A = this chain, B = another copy of it.
């Protein structure tokens, strides 16, 4: 039984209140340290990502951007996402056309995701790419970035249905 499961979205809680402010403050500091500017629209998009509990589509962010339900114009959000990705504050999940805030502290890094096909959760983890980098070098490639996306079921969604 339970060929389909319908767990609600969300594995990450989504930040609120002081935790959210703290994360945004930390981002400001990291920007200041590198002469980058966390401007209003960039900060707002990062805030939306941090608040959410699941990967966000660009047009979800566009719709949620304004304080009173006013949407943003697409370039506003896409530019902010480009900035956030460049600085390592956010990642794009290619197989979902969606974005998540970086959950791994520290600077820019190679990202990898475990994506649950059931509840939509996307867990970032620190990948060990030693084997693949060796293969790339052997093939004569100079690798600059790697993305890995694993699809499957998270622990909660693999558990037997309670109903």
Interface residues of A (CB under 8 A from B): 94-95, 112, 114, 116-117, 123, 125-132, 135-136, 139-155, 158
Contact = CB atoms under 8 A, between A and B. Distances in A.
A128 to B, nearest CB: 4
Contacts of A143: 114, 150-152
A149 B150 contact: no
Given A112-B132, A146-B150, 14 more contacts: A114-B136, A114-B141, A116-B141, A125-B139, A126-B135, A128-B131, A141-B152, A141-B154, A141-B158, A142-B158, A144-B151, A146-B151, A147-B148, A148-B149
Contacts of A142: 152-153, 158
A154 to B, nearest CB: 6
A148 B151 contact: no
Given A94-B95, A139-B123, A144 B132 contact: no
Contacts of A151: 143-146
3 closest A-B pairs by CB: A140-B155, A94-B94, A143-B152
Given A132-B112, A147-B148, A148-B148, A140 B158 contact: yes
